């Protein structure tokens, strides 16, 4: 696989593969020096045309932990401000010798467009209301880490589904892995059509909460709402906010999830965000290892398939174990330290 644009690029087998590779990188992340040489010599560029805290930093940290070089494109100080087109910007960056572009844009479809213009790998880090595949992968990983598998789990996705790329990728991924998904939203925050969505739909949150394994709360996407879709935020919170009282309806082992950033007191009560069954910080932590897995599978693969390099002693992950110090990757015949090693 060259690009990760949509969860449907992966299918169930591809998601499982990412999960398995993520297990290795979680182990790496727990080390005193959480870094492996798997992508040494590769360059990963973040091309974010939209705000982000966790996704941008998470990709950057993932690339650094794989020893890739990273570059960060800052929209506000770029030539985009002089009118440079998206295509020219991408091709300019690629001309510097880039292996992956991690793209976020407010318009749906931009990562596909970018992938058609460049030769390097493209990762979709969120395109408009459309998809956010690495968020769905880290969510699947977080659920799997706690429950073993998603097969047969009941997941309620609650809130502003209409504007949510997280919901689109999440529903695809959760159902591919065998979960049953119920969307809970006021009718005005549902997509115009749910044809083809393998989900149940309801506006009765309290009725759903008593029988779910995961309640996945979405952020109210106020910045994407161009019309009044709700009587008031206060009313939304009263009917759809995850309050302490509603958490009390959940089965004992049910997880609370949210992709962040949280609007405390709107879609989730402030104290609920921090209760032990809230997986929100675990989602962020797992995000780094999941993105390491994605970058590794796209850029670090051997000649015969994405995982081939992970097995043999000379594969890209071979440096993950043993005494591979900071200079271990410099030992090639033409490397700067070859003379020093004698």
Which parts of this chain interact with ligand NCD (CB under 6 A)? 54-55, 126, 132, 135, 165-166, 219, 221, 259-260
Q: How many CB atoms lie within 10 A of CB 301?
A: 18
Q: Which is nearer to ligand NCD, 39 or 284 (CB)?
A: 284
CB of 55 or CB of 318, closer to ligand NCD: 55
Nearer to ligand NCD, 65 or 165 (CB): 165
Shortest distance in whole angstroms from residue 218 CB to ligand NCD: 7
Please check whether residue 1 is in contact with residue 9, taking contact to mean a CB–CB distance below 8 angstroms: yes
Please tell me the distance from the alpha carbon of residue 193 to that of residue 211, in angstroms, as a whole number.
26
Residue with smaller CB distance to ligand NCD, 90 or 266: 266
CA–CA distance, 148 with 257 (Å, rounded to integer): 16
Query: Closest distance between ligand NCD and the C-beta of residue 283, in Å?
Result: 8
Task: Tell me the closest approach of the beta carbon of residue 223 to ligand NCD, in angstroms.
Answer: 9
Q: Considering the complex, what minimum distance in angstroms separates the CB of residue 337 from ligand NCD? A: 40
CB 218 within 8 A of CB 158: yes
Angle between helices 86-95 and 110-117 (to 10 degrees): 50
Min dist. Cβ of residue 44 to ligand NCD (A): 17
Burial of residue 119, with CB atoms counted within 10 A of its CB: 0-12 exposed, 13-18 middle, 19 or more buried? exposed
CA angle, corner 29, sides to 26 and 34, nearest 5? 145
- With CA atoms as reference, report the closest residue to 206 among 243, 155, 180: 243
Long-range CB pairs of 219-227 (<8 Å, 24+ gap) are 219/159, 219/160, 219/164, 219/258, 219/259, 219/260, 219/261, 219/262, 219/263, 219/267, 220/159, 220/160, 220/263, 220/266, 220/267, 221/160, 221/163, 221/164, 224/129, 224/163, 225/163
C-beta of 55: minimal distance to ligand NCD in Å?
4
Residues pairing with 256 in the sheet: 215, 278
Q: How far is the CB of 126 from ligand NCD (least distance, A)?
A: 4
Least Cβ distance, residue 158 to ligand NCD (angstroms): 13
If the CB atoms of residues 283 and 318 are measured against ligand NCD, the closer one turns out to be 283
- Give 65 or 291: the residue with its C-beta nearer to ligand NCD: 291
Q: In angstroms, rounded to a whole number, what is the distance separating the alpha carbons of residues 33 and 73?
A: 27
For 285, the token pair is 């932590």
Residues 262 and 65: their CA atoms lie apart, in Å, by 27
User: CB nearest ligand NCD: which residue?
Assistant: 219
């Amino acid at each position: 696989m060259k690009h990760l644009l949509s969860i449907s690029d992966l299918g169930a087998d591809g998601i499982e593969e990412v999960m398995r590779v993520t297990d290795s990188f979680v182990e790496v992340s727990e080390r005193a020096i959480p870094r492996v040489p798997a992508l040494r010599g590769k360059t990963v560029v973040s091309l974010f045309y939209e705000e982000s805290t966790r996704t941008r930093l998470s990709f950057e940290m993932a690339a650094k932990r794989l020893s890739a070089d990273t570059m960060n494109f800052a929209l506000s100080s770029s030539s985009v401000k002089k009118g440079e087109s998206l295509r020219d910007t991408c091709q300019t960056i690629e001309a510097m010798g880039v292996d992956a572009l991690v793209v976020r844009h407010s318009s749906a479809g931009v990562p596909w467009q970018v992938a058609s213009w460049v030769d390097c790998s493209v990762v979709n880090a969120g395109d408009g209301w459309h998809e956010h595949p690495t968020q769905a992968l880290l969510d699947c990983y977080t659920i799997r880490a706690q429950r073993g598998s998603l097969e047969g789990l009941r997941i309620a996705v609650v809130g502003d589904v209409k504007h949510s790329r997280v919901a689109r990728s999440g529903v695809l991924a959760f159902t591919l892995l065998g979960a049953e998904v119920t969307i809970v939203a006021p009718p005005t925050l549902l997509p115009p059509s749910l044809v083809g969505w393998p989900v149940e739909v309801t506006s009765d949150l309290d009725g759903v909460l008593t029988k779910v394994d995961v309640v996945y709360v979405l952020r109210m996407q106020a910045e994407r709402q161009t019309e009044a879709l709700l009587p008031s935020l206060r009313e939304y919170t009263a009917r759809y906010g995850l309050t302490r009282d509603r958490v009390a309806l959940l089965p004992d082992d049910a997880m609370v999830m949210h992709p962040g950033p949280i609007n405390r007191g709107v879609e989730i009560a402030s104290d609920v965000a921090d209760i032990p069954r809230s997986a929100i910080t675990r989602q962020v932590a797992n995000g780094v290892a999941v993105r390491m897995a994605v970058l590794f599978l796209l850029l670090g693969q051997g000649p015969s398939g994405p995982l081939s390099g992970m097995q043999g002693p000379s594969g890209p992950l071979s440096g993950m174990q043993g005494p591979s110090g900071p200079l271990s990757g410099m030992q090639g015949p033409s490397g700067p330290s070859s003379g020093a090693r004698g």
